[in-house]
A and B are shown apart, each in its own frame.
Chain A
Amino acid sequence: SQTIHQWPATLVQPVGSPLSLECTVEGTSNPNLYWYRQAAGRGLQLLFYSVGIGQISSEVPQNLSASRPQDRQFILSSKKLLLSDSGFYLCAWSRGLGSTDTQYFGPGTRLTVL
């Protein structure tokens, strides 16, 4: 069966510090991968998605970036965090980009920027 992992589970970082959140998927190959952010009391905002190694599409311009160095690894990064980057970050995977594909979510990372 497929599983998706995210770490760290929680993170507290000062403004201006770098960020690296990791997401890995097991039990499937060539998944589509997604990064979402959920601000407090808000819905999900799609940040990035990837259909393959090295292929990243950005949905929202901001100081975050994403990379996919391996087939089942998706990394969310920032060189300098802003207070507004605080939130709950969810990674998800799906088998394809078509309408039939359900997204399955990881446990999430709670990021607090002070």
Chain B
Amino acid sequence: AQTVTQSQPEMSVQEAETVTLSCTYDTSESDYYLFWYKQPPSRQMILVIRQEAYKQQNATENRFSVNFQKAAKSFSLKISDSQLGDAAMYFCAYRGNQFYFGTGTSLTVIP
């Protein structure tokens, strides 16, 4: 069975600094996608970035980038130049035959 693990329940970062959120997953599938979703206090889930497993190049979206290590089954999210609006719960998700979500990391941005 596929599982997604986020080992950091809470993280904090100083405004304008860089923070990395960790995610590992377990799967026997070869074709899948990985996602990071952001859930701000409004509770709506917002897609931040996605990575295709067959691509070796790490996905990047403005200040957000991933470090995808397929052999290690690791998928971390790096947020550069952190802003106050980045404060939220971040969920790592795996998409093979179904969606599986991690338990989330709560990110606090310190002014």
Contact = CB atoms under 8 A, between A and B. Distances in A.
A43 B96 CA distance: 18
Contacts of B43: 88, 107-108, 110
Nearest to B6: A43
A52 interface: no
Contacts of A110: 43
Given A42-B103, A107-B42, 4 more contacts: A43-B101, A99-B53, A106-B44, A107-B44
A99 B104 contact: no
B13 to A, nearest CB: 21
A73 to B, nearest CB: 20
Interface residues of A, number: 21
B91 A43 contact: yes
Nearest to A108: B43
Contact of B35 (A43, A102, A108): A102
B44 A46 contact: no
Contacts of A92: 45
17 contacts: A43-B91, A43-B102, A46-B98, A46-B99, A49-B98, A90-B45, A99-B29, A99-B31, A99-B33, A99-B53, A99-B95, A99-B96, A100-B52, A102-B47, A106-B44, A107-B43, A108-B44
